Chains A and B, each alone.
Chain A
Amino acid sequence: DAGVTQSPTHLIKTRGQQVTLRCSPKSGHDTVSWYQQALGQGPQFIFQYYEEEERQRGNFPDRFSGHQFPNYSSELNVNALLLGDSALYLCASSRKFVGLSGANVLTFGAGSRLTVL
């Protein structure tokens, strides 16, 4: 059973360019969340997609946008790249509804490391 897969694993861009990162969720999961992890820091929530709509958003500018497809896979797009966007971008999948006794658990991919020069 494949877990969460992300592509590409590494990429280098220059300031002002645009980037698209891709994510396939774990089988059976319907919700995809994106996190940004700067070097030496914990992951920061960017947004979450469920039923092809953005459901929640963290404190990130509109340059960050996303999409979820009918097969639950997702893309993260970042426009007008800044040096500060250099980070590991993590995709995490989960089930939307886990019942009263459960706690939602995120399953993470290995990430896409973006370097902006």
Chain B
Amino acid sequence: GNSVTQMEGPVTLSEEAFLTINCTYTATGYPSLFWYVQYPGEGLQLLLKATKADDKGSNKGFEATYRKETTSFHLEKGSVQVSDSAVYFCALTPYNFNKFYFGSGTKLNVKP
């Protein structure tokens, strides 16, 4: 089957700290992988994606590398800002299926 497991939060960091949010998956076939972010009171916004093994997705200083050998897609950022405080969701979709499977989300709090 298909599923996504994320590290539980909340994660609390000081501004300019290094961020890692772990994500592992199980999937049939070769899925595409995504990170979405949800700010308070809003829907989910696409942060980055990777469509095949060893691809690196990046956006706004965030990065994640599709690791097929470890079935992982960990999210990293070198220096977080207060404005990065949000809930982050790891997700996958089997190729061309359009149905997305989401992790349970990791809340990030960044303190000034």
- CB of B98 within 8 A of CB of A110, answer no
Would A56 and B99 count as touching, CB distance under 8 A?
Answer: yes
In the complex with contacts A41-B105, A104-B93, A111-B43 CB distance below 8 A:
yes
Residues of A with C-beta under 8 A to B14: none
Interface residues of B in 15-57 (CB under 8 A from A): 32, 34, 36, 41-46, 49, 51
How many angstroms between the C-alpha atoms of A10 and B89 in the bound complex? 23
Whether A108 and B105, one on each chain, are in contact in the complex, defined by CB atoms closer than 8 angstroms, is no
Contact A43 B102 (CB under 8 A): yes
Most buried by B among A42, A106, A107: A42
Bound-state Cα–Cα, A90 to B97, Å: 19
- Shortest A8–chain B CB gap in Å is 15
Q: Which chain A residues numbered 91 to 105 have a C-beta less than 8 Å away from chain B?
A: 92, 94, 96, 101-105
Residues of B within 8 A of A21 (CB): none
B49 near A105 with CB under 8 A, answer: yes
Asked if A42 contacts B104 (CB within 8 A), the reply is yes
- Of residues B4, B41, B43, which shows the largest number of chain A Cβ atoms within 10 Å of its Cβ? B43
Residues of chain A within 8 A of B32, CB atoms compared = 103-104
| Nearest chain A CB to B46 CB, angstrom units | 6
A48 contacts chain B at the CB level, 8 A cutoff: yes
In the complex, which of the residues A42, A44, A106 contacts B105, with contact meaning CB atoms closer than 8 Å?
A42
Task: Check A106 against B100 for contact (C-beta < 8 Å).
Answer: yes
A103-B93, A104-B93 are contacts. A45–B45 as well, Cβ < 8 Å? no
A110:B89 contact, CB within 8 angstroms? no
CB-contact partner of A45 in B95, B99, B103, B104, under 8 A: B99
